[in-house]
Amino acid sequence: MSDITNNTPDHRDASSDNTAIGGLYKNWFLDYASYVILERAVPYIEDGLKPVQRRILHSMYEMEDGRYNKVANVIGNTMKYHPHGDASIGDALVQMGQRDLLIDTQGNWGNIHTGDSAAAPRYIEARLSKFAKDVVFNPKTTVWQLSYDGRNNEPVTLPVKFPLLLSMGVEGIAVGLASKILPHNFCELIQASIDSIRGKKVDLVPDFPSGGIADFSKYNEGLRGGRIRVRALIEKKDKKTLVIRQIPFGTTTTSVIESILAAVDKGKIKIKKVEDNTSAQVEIVIHLHPDASQDPDKAIEALYAFSSCEVSISPNCCIIEEGRPRFVSVNEILDISTRNTVDLLRLELEIARKEKEDEWHYCSLEKIFIEKRIYRSLEECETWEQIIDTIAAGLKPYLKKLKRPVTYDDMAGLTELKIKRISKFDSHKAEEKIAGIEAELDRINNDLANIKNYAVAYFKELLKKYGKGRERRTQISSFEAIVASKVIANNQKLYVNRAEGFAGFGMRKDEFVCDCSDMDDVIALSGDGKFTVVRIVDKSYMGKDIKHISIFEKNDDRTVYNMIYQDGPRGDIMVKRFTISGVTREKFYDLTKGTDGSKVLYLGVTSADKPPIVQIQLRPRPKLKNLNIDVNFADVLIKNRSAVGNIVTKFGISKLRVVNPGTPPTSSSPTASSMAESAPGEKKSEDTKGKNPKSQIKLEF
C-alpha cells in the first residue's frame, strides 16, 4: 500500500506550469535576440567591426610574423575566440580580404564582379596589411576581456584610428533588427575627418568598389527611409553594340546578364546576343537586334528599366553604442569616429609621455648613482635592507633634481647595474641622452597642447601614405526615373471588335489597331458617350459600339477630344472639347449629361491647335430658314471631361459632314486606329480596315 501511495502522481495546477514555461520562452527569446544583435550581426561604433571581424584581426595580429599564413590556419586560430564555427569565420575573412584594405591576400580570393567564390581555405593565404598594422592595433591602448571559454584574452574593441566602418561598409540581419551601411571612399573619409576636426560640416555619399553611376539625392545621410539608385556604366560602341563597363553595387555580371535575358524573353527588350568578356574588369557586350529602327539610347533606357543594370539600395545605419543598438547618420558616425581617433591619439601621446618621463627618471637616477659613487657604499652592507637604506640615503641630497619620488623598484633596479656598465659610464653621453629625452617630452607636450593639429597631421600622413589608387570609382549623378511603359519594346498587337465592344492582344481575327506593349493602358470611347481605361490583356470588355480606341497616356495634355452628342433620344445637340488625364482603371466614365439614350454623333481626336470643322444640316421645318450650321471647334473652349458642353441646336439633324478633320495629336505612343471622323452607324469597307477613314463623311438621319 505504501508503494502505491508513493507512486501516486502529484496533481498540480496546469495553468501555473504553462505560465512558467511561457515566461521561460520570453526570457530565452530576449536573451537570444540580444546575443545576436550584440555578438553577431551589428558593428560596434568604437572600431566599426562585428565580433567575428574583430576576432579574425586579433588572431592575425597574434600570428603576425611578416609572412603569409594559410587561411585555414587563421580560421583555426580564430576559433579560440569565436564560438560559431569555421564557416562563418571563413566567409567573414574572405569578405574582408576582397575589400583590399586590412588584409593582404595571396591566391584565388574570388571575384566581386563575377560572383566567383574564393578557393578553399587550405589553398589561399593572408596576412595583415601595412595599413592595418599602422591603424588598427596598439596593445597599450586596448581594453581586454576573457574569451568565451576563459582561456584567452581578446579585445573588447580594437583601437582603430580611422573611420573603418564607413570605409568597408557592413550588412547584417539580427532578430527584429538589420544594419546596412554602405562603403565610402577612403580619401574622402580622411578629408571629411579633417573637416570634422576643424568644425566644418561634412556630407558623405557612398563609393562602391564596383563603380557605376549613382543618384544620391535621396540618400538621407544613410538613415532609414533613404534610397540610392545605382546604374551600370553602359557605353555605345556603335549603333548596334553596347558595352557594360561597370555594374551596380550588390550585383554580379552573372546576375546582370540573367536579368537582361529574362527581359528579352518577356519581349521587353530587343537584343540579339549578350557576351560576357569579364576578367579583371567588367565587360559585357550587348548586340542589339538588327532592326534598323532600333535606337541605342532607348535600348540603354530599357536596360535600366527592365534589368539589374539599375538597382535601388536602401541604407539602414544601425550601430552598437554603449551596449545598445542605435540608428545614426553616416555623418554622425564620422564625427564619432573622428572624436574617437583624437582620443586614441591623445591616449597614445600620454602613454608615450609617461614612458619618456620614466626613462628620464631612470637615466637621471643612474647618472647620480654612478657619478656620486653611491654604489661604493654598498660594499659594506650585509643585508638587502641595508643596501636599500644605503641607496636611499645616498640619493636623498639629489631628490630635488628629480621629477618624481624614488620608489623601491627604482632602487632595486640600480642594484642590477653591472660593473662593466658602471666602468664604461660616460657622463657626457648620459647628459646628451637625457637632453634628447627632454626634447622628446617637449615635442609630446606640444602635440598634446595642440591635439587637433596633431590629429590633422596624422590624417594627412595616412592620405599621403595609403591614398594612392583609392580615388572615387562611383560617378555622382542625378537622373530621372525611367517610365517603363515608354521604353518597353512593342511586344504585343492591339485588336478590337467595335460592335461587340471587346479589345485585347489575343483577338487576332478582329480589326488590328496598333503595335503596343503588355504594359500599356488602352482607352476606348463608345457610342453611348462613355469611356474606360484598362491595362491591355488578352481580351477585355470596353463598351459596345466603340468610336475611338488608342493607347492611353496619363496626364496627356496634347490629345484633345472633340465631340458632338445628342442629350437623350429627343434632346439638344451638344458640343464639347476636353482632355482626359488621370483616371481609375476599369471604371466607366460618362461624357454626356447622363440622360438615358444619349448618343455620340461625332468624335474627333486632334491636337489642341488644329481642331476639326464639322457642318450640321438640320431637318426642314416651318419658319427655319438657315438649315446649315458650321461647328468650328476652334471656337469651343477646352474643358475638363466632366463639362457637359454647349448647345449647338435644339432641332433635329438630317446630315453631318466633316469639312476639316483637323490634325491628329503628336504622341510618343503608337498610332491608334479610331473612328474619330466617322459618325454613328457608318461601317468601314474591307479594303480600308485598319487605315484612317476619309476626311469627309456624310451621315443621314
Cell 496627356 belongs to: 556
Neighbouring C-alpha atoms within 13 Å toward the C-beta of 60: 33
Confidence of residue 484 (pLDDT cuts 50, 70, 90): low
* Cell, residue 56: 579574425
* Cell, residue 407: 620608489
DSSP code at position 140: G
pLDDT exceeds cutoff 50 at 112: yes
Of the residues 32, 35, 123, 148, only one is catalytic, namely: 123
pLDDT exceeds cutoff 50 at 571: yes
- pLDDT value of residue 18: 52
Report, as an integer, the average pLDDT of 401-413. Answer: 89
Q: In angstroms, what CA-CA distances link 686 with 125, 658, 693?
A: 78, 22, 12
Report, as an integer, the average pLDDT of 307-329. Answer: 91
β-partners of residue 550 are 523
Q: Tell me how far apart the alpha carbons of residues 617 and 633 are, in angstroms, rounded to a whole number.
A: 17
| Ordered alpha helix ranges (H), 64-108 | 71-78, 86-98
Q: Which residues contact 533 (CB under 8 A, 6 or more apart)?
A: 521, 522, 523, 552, 583, 584, 585, 586, 587
Q: Which residues contact 26 (CB under 8 A, 6 or more apart)?
A: none
Q: For residues 565 and 531, is the Cβ–Cβ distance under 8 A? A: no
For the ranges 266-275, 520-529, 686-695, the lowest mean pLDDT is seen at: 686-695
* Cell, residue 366: 643612474
Q: Tell me how far apart the alpha carbons of residues 193 and 199 are, in angstroms, rounded to a whole number.
A: 10
DSSP 346-364: HHHHHHHHHHHHHHHHHHH
Which helix (H) or strand (E) element contains residue 670?
none
**pTM metric for this prediction:** 0.73
Sheet holding 521-526, edge to edge: 546-552, 521-526, 530-535, 589-590
Q: Tell me how far apart the alpha carbons of residues 177 and 130 are, in angstroms, rounded to a whole number.
A: 35
- pLDDT value of residue 399: 86
CATH fold for the domain made of 22-197: Topoisomerase II; domain 5 (3.90.199)
Q: Identify which of 585, 700, 604, 617 has the alpha carbon closest to the alpha carbon of residue 660.
A: 604
Q: Identify which of 447, 249, 246 has the alpha carbon closest to the alpha carbon of residue 346.
A: 447
What number of other Cβ atoms are within 10 A of residue 412's Cβ? 13
Q: Tell me how far apart the alpha carbons of residues 675 and 666 are, in angstroms, rounded to a whole number.
A: 17
Confidence of residue 293 (pLDDT cuts 50, 70, 90): low
Is the pLDDT higher at 184 or at 173?
A: 184
∠ CA 274-276-279 to the nearest 5 degrees?
165
Query: 1.10.40.50, 3.40.30.10, 3.30.1360.40, 3.90.180.10: which CATH number matches 228-313?
Result: 3.30.1360.40
Which helix (H) or strand (E) element contains residue 17?
helix 14-36
Q: Domain limits of the chain?
A: 22-197, 228-313, 490-700
Report, as an integer, the average pLDDT of 551-557. Answer: 84
- pLDDT value of residue 689: 38
Q: Tell me how far apart the alpha carbons of residues 506 and 459 are, in angstroms, rounded to a whole number.
A: 67
For the ranges 11-15, 147-151, 409-413, the lowest mean pLDDT is seen at: 11-15
* Cell, residue 667: 504622341
Neighbouring C-alpha atoms within 13 Å toward the C-beta of 387: 14
pLDDT digits (tens, 9 = 90+) for 624-667: 878 888 899 999 999 988 899 999 988 888 888 888 888 888 75
Q: For residues 76 and 88, is the Cβ–Cβ distance under 8 A? A: no
DSSP 599-646: EEEEEEEE-SSS--EEEEEEPP-TT----EEEEEGGGSPEEETT---E
324-327 and 310-313 beta bridge pairing: unpaired
Helices 451-466 and 427-449, interaxial angle, to 10°?
Answer: 100
Active site (annotated) includes residue 123: yes
Is the pLDDT higher at 693 or at 542?
A: 542
- pLDDT value of residue 282: 92
Q: In angstroms, what CA-CA distances link 456 with 75, 191, 452, 461, 462?
A: 37, 9, 6, 9, 10
- pLDDT value of residue 560: 93
- pLDDT value of residue 403: 86
Q: For residues 234 and 244, is the Cβ–Cβ distance under 8 A? A: yes
What number of other Cβ atoms are within 10 A of residue 21's Cβ? 10
Where is mean pLDDT largest: 110-114, 416-420, 442-446, 497-501?
442-446
pLDDT exceeds cutoff 60 at 303: yes
pLDDT digits (tens, 9 = 90+) for 578-597: 999 888 888 999 999 989 99
β-partners of residue 271 are 288
Confidence of residue 291 (pLDDT cuts 50, 70, 90): low
Report, as an integer, the average pLDDT of 21-46. Answer: 74
pLDDT exceeds cutoff 60 at 675: no
Q: For residues 162 and 101, is the Cβ–Cβ distance under 8 A? A: no
Q: For residues 93 and 74, is the Cβ–Cβ distance under 8 A? A: yes
Q: Tell me how far apart the alpha carbons of residues 77 and 71 are, in angstroms, rounded to a whole number.
A: 10
Measured between its terminal Cα atoms, the distance across the chain in Å is 113
pLDDT exceeds cutoff 90 at 485: no
Q: Tell me how far apart the alpha carbons of residues 340 and 160 are, in angstroms, rounded to a whole number.
A: 8
The sign one gets for the Cα dihedral 95, 99, 104, 107 is positive
pLDDT exceeds cutoff 70 at 688: no
User: What does pLDDT average to over the chain?
Assistant: 86
* Cell, residue 341: 581617433
Report, as an integer, the average pLDDT of 433-462. Answer: 95
Q: Tell me how far apart the alpha carbons of residues 233 and 376 are, in angstroms, rounded to a whole number.
A: 82
Classify residue 658 by burial, with Cβ atoms within 10 Å: 0-12, 13-18, 19+.
Answer: buried
What number of other Cβ atoms are within 10 A of residue 180's Cβ? 17
Q: Tell me how far apart the alpha carbons of residues 163 and 45 are, in angstroms, rounded to a whole number.
A: 9
Q: Say which amino acid occupies 181.
A: I
Report, as an integer, the average pLDDT of 164-170. Answer: 93
